[in-house]
Chains A and B, each alone.
Chain A
Amino acid sequence: MSLFSSLNLARLALGAHQTAIQTVGQNIANAATPGYARQRVHLTPTPSDDLVYARLGTGVNVSRIERIVDQHLEATLRGARSDLANLTEQNRIWSLTESIFNDLEGGGLSEALGEFFDAMQDLSVNPDDPTARSLLLEQGSSLSSTFRFLDARVRDLRIGLDEDVRGEVLEINRLTAELASLNSAIIAAEDGGVHGQTANDLRTQRDVVLGELAERIDIRVIENSTGGVQVLTGSEMLVHDGISRDLQVIARADGDIPYGEVRFADDGTLLQPEGGRIAALLAGRDAVLPDLRAQLDGIASTLIRGFNAIHSGGEGLSRLTEVLSSNSVNDREAPLISAGLPFPVESGSFVLQVVTEGNGAVESFNIDLDVDSMSLVDIAERINETAGVAHPGLSAVVTADGRLEIQSSDPGVTFTFRDDDTGALAALGVNGLFTGSTARDIDISSVLLDDPGLLAAGFGGGAGDNGAINAMLALRDEGLFAAGNSFEGHYGALVGEIGLNSAEAREHLTNQVSITTAIQNQRESLSGVNIDEEAISLVSYQRAYQGAARFLNVVDRLLETLINSV
């Protein structure tokens, strides 16, 4: 024992408590830092001296500075945050979808179709009234533009989500790169754990980045013995120690809509995330919205087909002198069944009825149709061979772009169609009410807009004949859709499902918020900083420091006494 060893003790005490105070200061400074884990100084007495008769203490040491963190809890919290981000995104997507289909506000598809049928009722009461005709065509245009509008908004939303996906990919790449460099830094700093140190602040930083990454994509984190971590998503490696794998977006198109496929840049493996924000975005972009669009298309095409099938066999205030099909075949020589028509056709026949306006003579020409062997060219020929021979002014051709055109060069010879049991007239769009076949291209026939007198209200019974209109009105309650649903039933189910999904998403989100908050609180309880607590620690370490300083003072006096006595 010597006084110098006491000096050493004082020195050690001062140093240790200075470190402790510094650590408290670090905690206080980072009290509001999100993701910060408080650090605690471990003080241990230094090895004692052996005095034979006693062991004498030699001082205090900071054995380590511990980061108070539970890796399991951190992992659980990351998972919860990942789910929360996923559900928040789902909620946002359903909210946007709701606003597109919000028939509660008015101006939705349900109301537009209702107004169309109302205009049809008015026309059925006064089929000869030109105002009623124009009104029906107007409502039809309005209905068509509602379809197109909804389709455009769904499309826009899908493109918006696609942009969000690209943004997420950039972010994920940035975060994985940062993780890789943090890993390298931690590995270097901890040096294989040789000195038993942990790079506390670097690790805290890394935990923060891992948390951010988890919000974007579902990950599993495995710590390596080197101190670095492996980050996996599914079975794919994202980060391993100092190496990170980038994602890239490959441009694709789904019909007319562009979208980006997310793959790993190095080996092209498709990314198939199951959680995090990106999974919700991808599910919305690739499943929910295309399904909605397909449903809209289904509704539009069923309506077009239903109305056109009736209208093509009807008669307006005047009969036809020319007609051009609104749909075309992709191969004029191919059998009709495989010629690329938007609606199905089957074999049977239709009647081309030719009227000599002068004396009112009516001639019916039966056109047999075998859809497995006859092409559009064959149909035109058949018409020419029968009606065309009896009335030389009547001719049928297939135009250069694959459409059927029938013309009567003599204005005194007109024609109409009847009894089509093949569906070909509707599929071709001959004398139709609507043109197009999807929600994107549906429109009222421009031929009718130019001449409302051609709107077929009846079946040839005269200006007051409302037979065709009544048949079209009957479509409203007919089970045209799946499970025998009428339009209103089917659309109601669609809208109802959107509502249910939205409500469900909200509920899940609310639950997840509670769950995440609870886990967050658990984590905070363990790793968070309580300023009052730190302030108390500060005071006690300060006292100890003061004590040590006092002790140093005393030892110094002792030394002085000793030296002065020599």
Chain B
Amino acid sequence: MSGFPGISRVTDSMVSGRLSGSIQRSLASLARTETSIATGRRFNTLGDDPLGARRSIAWERLLERHAQYGSNIQAATSRLSATEGALAELEDLIVRARELALEHVQTTSTDGMRANAAIEVQNMIEEALTLANRQFGERFLFGGDQVSAAPFAQSGGYISYGGDRSPSLIEVAPGMFLPSGISGVDAFGGWSSQVSGGIDLDPNINLETPVASLNGGRGIMAGRIEIRDGSGAAVTVDLEGAKTVGDVLDRINATGFVSAGLDVSRNGLAIVKPGANISITDLNGATAARDLGIAAAGAGPSLGGDDLDPIIGPLTRLSLLRNGLGIDAGGFTIQNGSMTAAIDLTGVETVEGLINAVNTAGIGVRARIGDSGEGIELTSILAGAELRVIEGSTTSAAQLGFIVPTADLTLDSLHGGTGVPTVTGEDLEITAEDGTTFAVDIDGAVTLGDVVALINEHPGNTGAVLAEVVPGQDRIRLRDQSGGTGTLSVSALNESFAISGLRLDGEAVDGIIEGGELSPAGVRTRSAFDGFMTLSQGLLASDTGTIHTALRFLDSAHERVLQSRAEVGSRLRRLEVSDRRNQLQSFETESLLSQEADTDIASAIVELNRQQTAYQAALRTSAQLLQQSILDFLG
């Protein structure tokens, strides 16, 4: 048998062909093994191991990403550590200021001592300002995203904050962002609270209202809806990609099956088909009909949708607010510290216009759309100033939610925050002109409205005296309605100072006692700066009331800095955890990559030796075989 399977006759070219073939194959194997040793990689082209190549490329990229996250975490950690340092120093200043305040509020302190303390407090303000404007590298730490200019600055006797509230997010793992800083708002109280509790401006929808703003900003989950008219006929409307309320109505109306329009009074959609029994359902798991408030079964010929509750945006027209009632055109005045600005609403058509009017007034007041999208926030960016809004000729400020209605003023906020003192038991006694007398206990009243109600609904007050809030002013009045011949009067009981607190200590004129101005407090930043500046004023004027107020501000500033330090601490810990996890994953990826792609040098060298031996054997036998022929033996 020949070495060629199934073949009995062997020719010279077959033999030489086979020999050169096997030498070629040996050489090729040798070359491959040598390459894998020289490069250290098991495969060098995509075709050597396609799946392995694909995996190793992916892992190389993953390793690079881990390295990058490591560097991001490093940057965030350094930044937060620097932040922590500054906050610790701030806390020291606040604690020292409290000590001074407590010390000099005592009667043992003299004017001279207080004047010296005031100098120390002035220095604290300078120091705190330096801390607040601390930089890390080129970057200001406490400005939020405003990192290239100092966030805090002296401004006409106040300290203004020019930064924002951004937490400066950095990516530390795929899709995972951690804050790398604390803004001046959270650390130093850069913004005051809002001028009043936010109200829902409740805008009406119109055709341009974006679908994404509906349902408090949640929008709708678009999909297909089915409308039936009760006769067995039905149409399907695809709402995918509808951008505005107008789009939605157009698509429904395009079917010609029903009429769709706006129901202004309900602030929703109206679907109408005379004589039909309308049912609307969602198809395929989307919730468009439900989200649009028009999902119904057997609603008759006219389906009224629910309130779509859109949020406001910069382009929302003022005329749509308050369910279409709009905002009065008369303006209002904003007072911030010693500055005032008149905000005129004539010609202002959009929310953006209003915001611009406030923000460009140059009195350190910021207007912005609240985070919930329901109202507009007015805050002060000046520490040391008190922000108040004063109504103009109309009620536009109240409509916008910038003014607390007098009846809702809390007793605690009166007189610049000093409040109204009451005693246990009855505080005052009211005597009407016809002699009707009754005693009122102010305890339990939270607002002025409560006080008015306590007086008017007193069982002893049989309609003799009417207490009322004076419209548009921060005071109350008492009006005699008994029609007697005496004099309306109020007197204190149980040594209570409530009468002077309510400013009802005037004489009755024509049966009316006009209450005095109740001076509700505006809003302040209640920041460390506020505390220091107020303390300095109190010390210089030797006014213990002001020093007490300063203490309250310092307390809230201390609370704030403690919270910030806790926040920074927790963020640093989270970063540490992320770092560990990142490193671990990096190690794992590296070892996977190595297993996949690296040559096992030891076994490769053994293989190389084997192949070299085989190659030499092939060469030797070839040489021998090729030399022999019968021609050597013939004569």
- Residues of chain A whose beta carbon lies under 8 Å from any beta carbon of chain B: 31-32, 94-95, 98-99, 101-104, 108, 110-111, 114-115, 117-118, 121-122, 124-129, 317, 346-349, 351, 359-364, 366, 421, 458, 461-466, 470, 473-474, 477, 488, 492-493, 495-503, 505-506, 517, 520-522, 524-526, 528-532, 535-536, 539
Contacts and interface: CB of A to CB of B under 8 A. Distances in A.
B13 A102 contact: no
Nearest to A126: B139
Interface stretch (B70-78, B124-132, B454-462, B499-507): B70-78
A465 B181 CA distance: 12
B634 A535 contact: yes
Contacts of B41: 104
A461 B145 contact: yes
A129 to B, nearest CB: 7
A496 B11 contact: no
B17 A517 contact: yes
A522 B169 CA distance: 75
A465 B170 CA distance: 11
Contacts of A103: 53, 57
Nearest to A460: B145
B58 A492 contact: yes
B630 A462 contact: no
Interface stretch (B60-68, B335-343, B433-441, B485-493): B60-68
A488 B68 contact: no
Given A110-B61, A470-B171, A499 B243 contact: no
A121 to B, nearest CB: 5
Q: Tell me which of A117, A317, A466 has the highest count of chain B C-beta atoms within 10 A of its own C-beta.
A: A466
B120 interface: no
Nearest to B56: A104
B11 A525 contact: yes
Interface in B166-183: 166, 168-171, 174-175, 177, 180
8 contacts: A104-B44, A360-B360, A362-B352, A463-B146, A499-B49, A499-B50, A521-B17, A529-B12
Contacts of A122: 68, 71
Contacts of B56: 104
Contacts of B51: 496, 499
A539 B635 CA distance: 10
Given A499-B53, A499-B54, A366 B10 contact: no
A503 B9 contact: no
Nearest to B353: A363
B8 interface: yes
Contacts of B60: 110-111, 114
B314 interface: yes
Contacts of B208: 366
A383 to B, nearest CB: 16
A32 B12 CA distance: 8
A104 B243 contact: no
Given A125-B76, A125-B180, 11 more contacts: A102-B45, A121-B69, A124-B72, A126-B137, A363-B353, A462-B143, A462-B145, A498-B47, A502-B46, A517-B17, A524-B17
B54 A522 contact: no
Contact of A114 (B10, B61, B148): B61
A530 B11 contact: yes
A99 B44 CA distance: 10
Contacts, number: 220
Contacts of A536: 630
B308 to A, nearest CB: 19
B306 interface: no
Nearest to A97: B46
Given A495-B57, A522-B7, A525-B11, A503 B360 contact: no
**Top-10 shortest CB links A-B:** A499-B50, A502-B47, A499-B46, A528-B11, A464-B147, A464-B145, A496-B54, A359-B360, A462-B145, A463-B148
A463 B180 CA distance: 15
Q: Tell me which of B10, B71, B149 has the highest count of chain A C-beta atoms within 10 A of its own C-beta.
A: B10
Contacts of B175: 474, 477
Contacts of A99: 45
A488 B350 CA distance: 45
Contacts of B53: 103-104, 495-496, 499
Q: Tell me which of A94, A104, A114, A530 has the highest count of chain B C-beta atoms within 10 A of its own C-beta.
A: A104
A280 B88 CA distance: 75
Contact of B11 (A129, A477, A495, A529): A529
B9 A464 contact: no
A532 B69 CA distance: 76
A531 B72 contact: no
A361 B360 contact: yes
B359 interface: yes
A104 B57 contact: yes
A464 B179 CA distance: 13
B315 interface: yes
Contact of A470 (B75, B144, B169): B169
A129 B360 contact: no
Contact of A520 (B17, B64, B65, B630): B17
Contacts of B171: 121, 124, 470, 473
A502 B233 CA distance: 59
B241 interface: yes
B57 A464 contact: no
Nearest to A419: B210
Nearest to A33: B13
B68 A462 contact: no
Contact of B12 (A124, A359, A530): A530
B634 A500 contact: no
Contacts of A521: 4, 7, 14, 17
Contacts of B631: 531-532, 535
Nearest to B43: A104
B17 A101 contact: no
B138 interface: yes
B231 interface: no
B314 A364 contact: yes
A208 B49 CA distance: 39
A393 to B, nearest CB: 18
A553 B115 CA distance: 158
Nearest to A110: B57
Nearest to B7: A525
B166 A465 contact: yes
A125 B71 CA distance: 10
A530 B9 contact: yes
A364 B629 CA distance: 98
A492 B53 CA distance: 9
A555 B76 CA distance: 119
A462 to B, nearest CB: 4
A300 to B, nearest CB: 18
Contacts of A473: 171
Contacts of B50: 496-500, 502-503
A326 B362 CA distance: 39
Contacts of B166: 461-462, 464-465
B21 interface: yes
A344 to B, nearest CB: 12
Contacts of B146: 462-464
B12 A363 contact: no
Contacts of A503: 47-50
B47 A98 contact: yes
Interface in B191-235: 208
B243 A125 contact: no
Contact of A125 (B49, B72, B352): B72
Contacts of B163: 462
B590 interface: no
Contacts of A346: 241
A465 B61 CA distance: 27
Given A121-B72, A128-B148, A488-B58, A462 B12 contact: no
A124 B170 contact: yes
Contacts of B48: 499, 503
A158 B51 CA distance: 26
Interface in B395-415: none
A499 B53 CA distance: 8
